[in-house]
Structure 1
Amino acid sequence: MLRDRVADRWAERPAASALDGTFDPSETIPSADHRESTALDGRSLRNRSCAAGESAASHDLAGERHRDERDTTSYWQRMTETIMEQSILVGVTDSAVSRRVVDWVSARALERGCRIELVSVVGGAVGVVGEGPIVEAAMKSAGILLEREVEFLRSRGVVAETRIVRGDPVGELIDSSMVFDLLAIGSDYRGSAVGPRRGPHGVRIAAGAHCPVVVVPDMDMSGRRGIVVGVDRSPIARRALAFAFAEAERSGDPLTVLHTWQPVPLPRTMRGYPHGYLSGVQTLAEETVDLALAEISPEHPGVRITRVVEQGPPAQRLNELASHARLAVVGSHGRGALARFLLGSTSQQVLDELSTVTAVVR
């Protein structure tokens, strides 16, 4: 079960310094009961005190460190980040684009030393008479598929774990994403001249996942360079921008920061916009980009930045700029039990007509 996987991940963590994102062995490790309850409700390990029992003694050994509410929250956030550090969950299907996903992940793993898990979800079972042999054959086919992909990764020097589960593919991938740093899935979209557009499952996965989701289209990405990110004034856009900066810094790609704006629709009773209105909106849009960059760009001085601020539809313009880019980054506004399956119109339109590998950041 997922909660057991979270508990196992605790036991696998090597002891190291908290300064580099891992933890000193003298710091308290939560009890099994605490780990289980945390995994069950799916919440991040935050706002928790240290485990009971040996907590006071371990704190004495670590120099009698006392944490206030903020320090405790930071401590659990660091632990959560360590659990998910360098781990990628890959949704594997029996489709042509699935190999492109695995290929993309293998390149990332070689570059960054990521831990990879390939998962195949066998869905559709409802428990009717005669279904057993079909499900058994599907499980066997999934096993053969995963073994083939593992051999492909091994030929590239990448080690991967595999897992086959039964259930709803959307729900299984969303639940599993709780303990991963990145989720990679494929899209059967091959361009506006070819189609078809991706179905609703990929959008629901991208909107509901607990970690960033990378959607790989069925296109040849060789020779592409550059990263494009769309921004606005929302906190989610800032997280998307931070993700894009980190990617650009690691890869050396130039970063294009896009912000588009649309004027208030002109009423029929008016013949035109007041003098200075459109230029004022443009100035405000430029300030939006400047403010966003002022928060993050100083941390990444080596990244080459191009600002694009203009009037127009955001999804269309982002896909146009990303048509020769290696990666596009957008934010997801999904939240709550129902709204988490709604990406937001811009992000959904970007995924509907992908022009490159696209990361959806929550």
Structure 2
Amino acid sequence: MALPLSRRSLIVGAGAAAATLAGARASFAADPLKIGFVYIGPVGDHGYSYSHDQGRKAVEAEFGDKVKVTFVENVNDGPDSERVIRQLAAAGNDLIFSTSFGFMQPTIRVARQFPKTKFEHATGYMRANNVGTYNGRFYEGRAVLGTIAGLVSKTGVVGYVASFPIPEVIMGINAFTLAAQKVRPDIKVKVIWLNSWYDPGKEADAAKALIDGGADIIAQHVDSPAAMQVAEARGAFAFGQANDMIRFAPKAHLTAIVYDWAPYYIERVKRVLDGTWASDDTWWGLKQGLIKIAPYNPALSEDVRKQADTVKDAIANGTLHPFTGPIKDQKGAVRVPAGETMSDADLLKIDWLVEGVQS
């Protein structure tokens, strides 16, 4: 069973009691692999951190007493995350998953101090011999949501509650908008930036402002269901984030992009256990099942469902890429010529929004 640790009460243990000399070899052979997870938000956010924690639970279910897993939630970017990651390493964790973009440089710094510890960082790009990176192609799922929004919106305005203007989030807004424009060229996507991953009060206020501004659908890249609950109360539609959130807004919730980290976590733990782990860069999407689409709301017509499934299936089988040109930025400049597709390298450093986005 995992041991939840608060930021203030994280205890660096001294390790297991010494075995007797005769039984030392058997004791060491039976020692579980110690694994630590670091989350940006609470495991009860029902979104991003919750999705990672479901992956952690899958690891425990898969490996049982072969692993000993701990997690630390509500860890802020910057010095706070570096302190927590260092404490987990000093406590003897063999493998540490740091799960937020803002944990990237702290992870690298701690990894230099603990070269025998293996680290995995989510959504970043900095690697080392003992630091691997992993990510989800969230933009693929958002293209499916954008398709639905373009087909369903009556006002032609979609509100988007966003966290930080980093590539991961910009990528998602752009993919959503481009897909929506394919079925409704005149659609507009209004973005409100919160500079926070989890703040239910701000998320709710942003949703209210966007609906007051004409949006009849709310999308989000923040982690609580607050914006969806506002949509439910105001008679608008909404999409869930990182998890199926329909129980919070049964009428408003059209579907959700769902993150399933379990297969990745299980694979990486297996590699540590069998001695084949190596620093790697993994970016899985719809094809690999890390990105999934939650069941559609019964309110969606059969035609809308079919069009959404067509986009989802085409992305999964490689016949459709959400970032195939022509693509223009907010100023009307061509960023991706017709027939060309953005490379992964360009996507991972994207810092511009597409035409039709208002922010």
TM-score (norm 2): 0.25
Choose 1 or 2 for highest CA Rg. 1
User: If each structure's strand is expressed as a fraction of its own residues, which one has the higher value?
Assistant: 2
User: If each structure's helix is expressed as a fraction of its own residues, which one has the higher value?
Assistant: 1
TM-score (norm 1): 0.25
